[in-house]
Amino acid sequence: MRMTFCQQAVGVAERSGMSYPRYNIADLGVTIFGIIYVGLLLGTIISLRALENGIFWVILVFICAWGSDTCAYFAGKFLGKRKLAPRLSPKKTIAGAIGGIIGAGIMVYIFSIVMMYYGQIYLTDAWKIILVVVAGIGAILSQFGDLAASSIKRNVDVKDFGSLFPGHGGVLDRFDSVLLITPFIYLVATTFINYNDFWEQYINLF
């Protein structure tokens, strides 16, 4: 009798020692979560780059993440008093969070103007405003991503995910704020492309 795929998988797991009680459902959950959390979310950047005007959207992701983080740092340093999440991330402040959101909006607006000037993309006035709002939402997602990463590290009692960059941790410590933004920007980018295609087809009818 032919074994099913699941039976074969269980057999391999047992032969390799990956069986209860050495490993339990929690270990499996952590493994799958790691694949989705890093591989799927960060991997969306590849799909984003493959879209029309892909480089524009990829840079937009990093402006929302690292640009807002820079603005949040300076806003928090000079204006921050009330802590945003004192137990989870003691250095983050409410003023910093707001400053990051506003700063991301300004930076994305300037970036959009520059890219239009060099003919890299065409944006209507409405889409310029939409992208400023998108930048604000992206900045919020960036902060949630950063806090989520801090929660994971505290849960496993480590300071950083790695030590590749002295003083900054590992690769994931640099990209944790990017993870939640990539699928959101991908959704925005595909909406933008479909919107333009719709109007192009509509105009061609006349």
Return all residues near 163 (Cβ < 8 A) that are at least 6 apart.
169, 170
| Residues 54-78: tens digit of each pLDDT | 999 999 999 999 999 999 999 998 8
Return all residues near 112 (Cβ < 8 A) that are at least 6 apart.
121, 123, 128, 131
Does an H or E element contain 85, and which? strand 83-85
Q: What is the domain extent for residue 78? A: 52-204
pLDDT for res 2: 46
Residue 19 lies in a domain: no
CB atoms within 10 A of CB 196: 15
The partner residues of 85 in beta bridges, in order of sequence, read 89
Report the number of distinct structural domains present in the chain. Answer: 1
Structure-derived torsion over alpha carbons of residues 78, 83, 87, 92, reported in degrees to the nearest 10: -40
User: At residue 20, does pLDDT exceed 80?
Assistant: no
Task: Locate 158 and state its tokens.
Answer: 């480590």
The partner residues of 23 in beta bridges, in order of sequence, read none
Indicate the pLDDT class of residue 197, thresholds 50, 70 and 90: low
Residue 14 lies in a domain: no
For the entire predicted model, the pTM comes to: 0.78
Residue 113 lies in a domain: yes
Residue 123 lies in a domain: yes
pLDDT for res 192: 92
Residue 83 lies in a domain: yes
User: At residue 3, does pLDDT exceed 60?
Assistant: no
| Residues 128-149: tens digit of each pLDDT | 999 999 999 999 999 988 888 7
| Residue 3 DSSP symbol | P
Residue 190 lies in a domain: yes
Buried b (16+ CB within 10 A) or exposed e, 111-135: bbeebeeeeeeebeeebeebbbebb
Averaged over 91-101, what is the pLDDT? 91
Indicate the pLDDT class of residue 114, thresholds 50, 70 and 90: very high
Residue 6 lies in a domain: no
Residue 150 lies in a domain: yes
The answer to whether the CB of 55 falls within 8 A of the CB of 78 is no
User: At residue 169, does pLDDT exceed 80?
Assistant: no
